[in-house]
Structure 1
Amino acid sequence: MRHIVNLSGGKDSTALAVYLTKKYPNVKYEYVFCDTGCELPETYEYLNKIEKVLGIYIVRLNSDKPFEFYLEKMNGYLPSVFARWCTREMKIKPWERYVGDDNVYSYIAIRADEDRKGYISSKKNVHTVYPFIEDGICIGDVEKILLESEIGYPTYYEWRSRSGCYFCMFQRRIEWVNLYKYHPELFKKALVFEKDNFTWIKGMSLLDLLYRGKEIEERYYKKHSKKDAKKEIEDEDDYNDKCCLICSL
């Protein structure tokens, strides 16, 4: 059996890597990250930090084709919460090629206090395991694991609630505004991908969002304190219960 720990560049999957490494030090784990080539710079920095602190090697998988290739193949139709072709083409397919026909334990970092299930492969040789659910690990435990390991949280959590591509369609509007603040060049790239009625936000282009940026910020911070704004807060733009299950592990 192969033991594959799926990393997203986020807090939960990182805590799982720390947890499993300490709990079962004799197991030969494979640490895998599916790289779309569209990740935030902070994500790559965090992955490098994980490797250094834990003394592990993270396998970086990719689809061998850039996002633009698939976008053209889809006739300019952007991925959405209802059509997640980016996840299928750039994460699931490379992952399943990597696994092949070997018998595999696939470790997914969904916590005991979450009401969702992760990506479950249709391949019969893949056995999905949820260590945090089995051991009752919740958000407080994850924070403790990361702090004690000295890895800490990814720096993008200061302005974003989860891992994923810079243009992830599960971002809230406030997070799109923050993307423009922290990475204006990436925001502009995402804007270029929009055409006609194909927009990242339903009923709103990123150009419209820029014009309304100050209004979005004021409304958001009026509803949430700046301290709470850094946490995963249920919001009108929040798709936490529908997020990409292999992206936000």
Structure 2
Amino acid sequence: MNERHVLGISGGKDSAALAIFMRQKYPHLDISYFFTDTGKELPEVYDFLAKLEGFLGKQIERLNPHRDFDFWLREYGHFLPNPQTRWCTRQLKLLPFKNWVRPWLESGDKVYSYVAIRADEEHREGLISQHDNLIVQLPFREHGVDKMGVYDLLDASGVGMPKYYDWRSRSGCTFCFFQQKIEWVRLKKEHPDKFEEAKAYEKSALEHGSPFTWTQRESLEELEQPERVAAIEADFNIRKQREYARIRINPLRPQKSELMDIDELYLEEEGGGACLICHK
């Protein structure tokens, strides 16, 4: 029986910080880092993965190289994924991971999977193991690492934050349906070609009889209208100022006390939540 150690990198801050933490705290562990590529990640994600690999001194293995988003979109009759039918998470994230570790589990190896759930996320749980030899570990919770601890790890390592956090926090996947409307507006500004591609997917889905658009209650064509963009930006700014007024300043880290993810300003009516495996 062998022991395997694996850690999934989502392209987000928490999983990257966990990889840094494990490299520093447990350098004796031979950890296999992996990234399940949807084929529709933001360009910033690939830049960040390369930077993280430089720190780890180890390649992050890419899973799912042959069956990307377009493949599964055709399999699902051009119906877009949505909060009720998250086929993207199931087929592009969970299935590749299960297929990857299956040979080890079937041969009797123990596989330790390290998940980046922080100490301040009591409401979240990791992937529930369906195999006795797949053991899910939560090092941040065990060592008391919270959100500020994540920022500290990224800063001290020199890896820093993924650049897409300047305007987005939901996920590194370009077309994540859990994006806020403000994030779709910013996608249009940051990557207009990606926004146009999203519109094309939406049009194709509607032509194939899909009842879903990327964002609830309106199409991207409706969302991009100047008057609608202005309303979305105004609403977001109001929420941001309201939440900033509630921040309790930590005298030991006054600047970092003001850090706030777009994620924290998420409106329930916009869909709520995010897929843990993509978001972390």
Please give the range of the TM-score, normalised by the shorter of the 2 chains. Answer: over 0.9
Q: Name the counterpart of 1:135.
A: 143
Pairwise CA distance, 1:143: 0.6
Q: Name the counterpart of 1:161.
A: 169
Q: Which 10-residue stretch deviates more, 24-33 or 216-225? A: 216-225
Structure number with greater Rg is 2
SS across alignment from 1:14: helix
Is 2:194 aligned against 1:186? yes
Pairwise CA distance, 1:184: 0.7
Q: Is the 8 A contact 2:216 2:271 kept in 1?
A: no
Is 2:33 aligned against 1:31? yes
Q: Name the counterpart of 1:49.
A: 51
Q: Which runs of 5+ in 2 are unaligned?
A: 105-109, 245-257
Is 2:252 aligned against 1:236? no
Output the CA distance in 1 between the equivalents of 2:212 and 2:171: 23
Within the candidate set 152, 174, 178, 1:144 is matched to: 152
**Hey, which bits of structure 1, 4+ residues long, moved more than 6 A?**
226-229
Within the candidate set 125, 131, 140, 1:123 is matched to: 131
Within the candidate set 63, 81, 84, 2:83 is matched to: 81
Q: Is the 8 A contact 1:110 1:133 kept in 2?
A: yes
Pairwise CA distance, 1:223: 2.5
Q: Is the 8 A contact 2:239 2:265 kept in 1?
A: no
SS across alignment from 1:57: coil
Alpha carbons of 1:30 and 1:201: their partners in 2 closer, same or farther (altered >3 Å)?
same
Q: Which 10-residue stretch deviates more, 5-14 or 223-232? A: 223-232
Identity of aligned residues (%): 43
Alpha carbons of 1:245 and 1:119: their partners in 2 closer, same or farther (altered >3 Å)?
farther
Residue by residue over 1:188-229, the C-alpha shift from the partner in whole angstroms, topping out at 9 and shown as x without a partner, is: 111111133320112111111101112111221132149877
Q: Name the counterpart of 1:247.
A: 278
Q: Name the counterpart of 1:5.
A: 7
Is 2:237 aligned against 1:214? no
The CA RMSD over aligned residues, in Å, is 1.8
TM-score with structure 2 setting the length = 0.83
SS across alignment from 2:18: helix
Pairwise CA distance, 1:63: 5.3
Is 2:170 aligned against 1:172? no
Pairwise CA distance, 1:122: 2.4
TM-score with structure 1 setting the length = 0.93
Output the CA distance in 2 between the equivalents of 1:8 and 1:160: 14
Output the CA distance in 1 between the equivalents of 2:261 and 2:137: 29
